[in-house]
Structure 1
């Protein structure tokens, strides 16, 4: 009997530190790396990730929401948090307390933040987001200078940076490169106009995400926001040769039961799988409630004793079945790797994403809280 549920996500904080160090070297001394730890650090556990990187000297982090930052501040993380998402009325008192840098792109939030800052006798650092082509949040380029002037005129606010977000930096097709160049050019024009009007030596300018950092050089920018690469995944396979990254997360379970299926016997809901010959079935305590996608039913694989074992039958909310007939010595209690390396074999997050027609970001973010995070210290 297992002491505890064997379905866990093992988080290698040493790999995280190595990735951060490698990205710093790759970026060079003029570019500061801003670790993106939104969405619970892409499923890795934001508190542990932030604490680890803070010990490595990271000056600040990027998150999506004020509550994400507040939870981390409450856990003792003292570094500054860049808030990438929108501000809400409930957020403003927390921002006023300090330790956060909100990103602004619309006048109402800027005015409300200014009024509260003045009332509290505070001066709040802010950054402005420019929509250079993503066409989500951000100030359009033709109104950017007016909005920047508005922010600079509001009491209680201090403009400390400009940013934008790249739409197709992970692609290497000709049109994708042209589109990224267009975004970079728009951002550079706004930055240059600002630099012609004021001293910007103390300001930060950032456009690159993981793909942008690894594929392009953006003169005039002095920061890059890095998420996916920090966790050891490549935004595009073509970038593998540029930097050595180490996967930080391994998802594991264990064999809870072995049983024989006779020819003609079926397993799981819908009788999706029927044995044609005797099959050794391994029952695994992991299912779609844990984040193992139901679409992998009958076509996914796991690693047992360093070998691939096909999934059979329909993945359930709590259970998954694998055919381990071809694996010698298999036993109850054996470790099963769902995502990661075991021996010489590996099922990477990129492989899982490709088999599901999605991206590595989604795979990492959707392992549920039921999958206990276990941390390997560096």
Structure 2
């Protein structure tokens, strides 16, 4: 349960996370592994806690963006293979990779020289994952330049080719033409690698959207982020799997006041009451991750009822119109994202209102909001969830 003194918090539902992971795992073929993407502190959900649940439910790999994220997991006792999706460019970073048993992405000739030199000096072999840029134009070796680099990796001492992968740029688009163009380019690289007799233990291409779009994109492993946390990446991909949002956001009412018609509310008086109103001030604001752009547009749930937010959202507080909610009191818990009674507000709702993406909303909640496990009719611990089959 939340700290009675907490003004606001992020609530994580380990049961929903476990259910989502099992649904994804059962959707994949027996030969396809699940890499759980838990970069950015597991999209704001808490990387260590998420890692414990998803690994217990069938994930075999973890994906992170930075070396620091990987070290956090290792220090917490997470022993599963970790793929570093971002780049490293110093000898000290590569030495840390070796020490913490983190497998890096290789995307350039400079990477190969650095990895080889450090690994040889250490007297070991570093597994590397070669990222082929088939259309993302972000990280990775361009697909039409990939073969010489792959050959060099294969013949270089100190490194071992652990996988070839690429990243889909438009898998959430209703038109799959771009996806299949990238797959065609990726397939050409794989065919040439096979012709050259270069063994590659693992091949992976699909993100959450690619996984849901077409099983032919699954290959040896899929890299799933958003779907783990309960959201389909696009409307046309909804309903394929039974996904449940894992994150809730709640806060407490800190003051209730009556205002008269003509009273302006919050900075700039962008809202002016047209009738007598009861306002509830809530202890959460844009410094916590509630976008200011939702001012006068969002709703919240109070005592199972949907109420509107009024006035500009401020750094630490926002105001709700609770005129129609009886018996509301200071200390009352307000649901900003989550379910109460028959109503639910999701991160996707906020994203739709702001013309942005669900990923941005989930990652936006700051760490001055404590992360807690959601209440359950039966006490639930991460250990209990981990033991489910």
Q: What's the TM-score once normalised by structure 2's chain length?
A: 0.93
CA displacement at 1:110 relative to structure 2: 1.5
Distance 1:181 1:105 in 2: 22
SS in 1 for 2:280: strand
Unaligned runs of 5+ in 2: 375-380
CA displacement at 1:103 relative to structure 2: 0.7
Distance 1:219 1:304 in 2: 43
Distance 1:59 1:208 in 2: 16
SS in 2 for 1:256: strand
Asked if 1 retains the 8 angstrom alpha-carbon contact of 2:34 and 2:60, the reply is no
- In the other structure, the counterpart of 1:145 is 147
Map 1:353-364; keep pairs closer than 5 Å. Answer: 353-364=351-362
CA displacement at 1:329 relative to structure 2: 2.5
CA distance change for structure 1 residues 269 and 56 in 2, over 3 Å: closer, same or farther?
same
- In the other structure, the counterpart of 2:196 is 197
CA deviations 1:13-43 (Å, max 9, x no partner) are 1111111110011112121110000000000
- In the other structure, the counterpart of 1:332 is 330
Asked if 1 retains the 8 angstrom alpha-carbon contact of 2:205 and 2:218, the reply is no
- In the other structure, the counterpart of 2:185 is 186
Map 1:1-378; keep pairs closer than 5 Å. Answer: 3-89=4-90, 90-173=92-175, 177-198=176-197, 200=199, 203-218=201-216, 221-376=219-374, 377=381, 378=385
Unaligned runs of 5+ in 1: none
CA displacement at 1:45 relative to structure 2: 0.6
CA displacement at 1:199 relative to structure 2: 5.9
- In the other structure, the counterpart of 2:378 is none
SS in 2 for 1:161: strand
Distance 2:189 2:66 in 1: 26
CA deviations 1:161-199 (Å, max 9, x no partner) are 0010001101113xxx11110001111111122123336
Asked if 2 retains the 8 angstrom alpha-carbon contact of 1:309 and 1:322, the reply is yes
Runs of 4+ in 1 over 6 A off after TM superposition: none
Distance 2:101 2:67 in 1: 11
SS in 1 for 2:133: coil
Asked if 2 retains the 8 angstrom alpha-carbon contact of 1:188 and 1:220, the reply is no
Q: What is the RMSD of the two structures over their aligned residues, measured on CA atoms?
A: 1.4
Asked if 2 retains the 8 angstrom alpha-carbon contact of 1:96 and 1:116, the reply is no
Distance 2:234 2:58 in 1: 28
Distance 1:316 1:65 in 2: 32
CA displacement at 1:237 relative to structure 2: 1.6
CA displacement at 1:115 relative to structure 2: 0.7
Distance 2:30 2:58 in 1: 14
Asked if 2 retains the 8 angstrom alpha-carbon contact of 1:104 and 1:126, the reply is yes
CA displacement at 1:219 relative to structure 2: 5.8
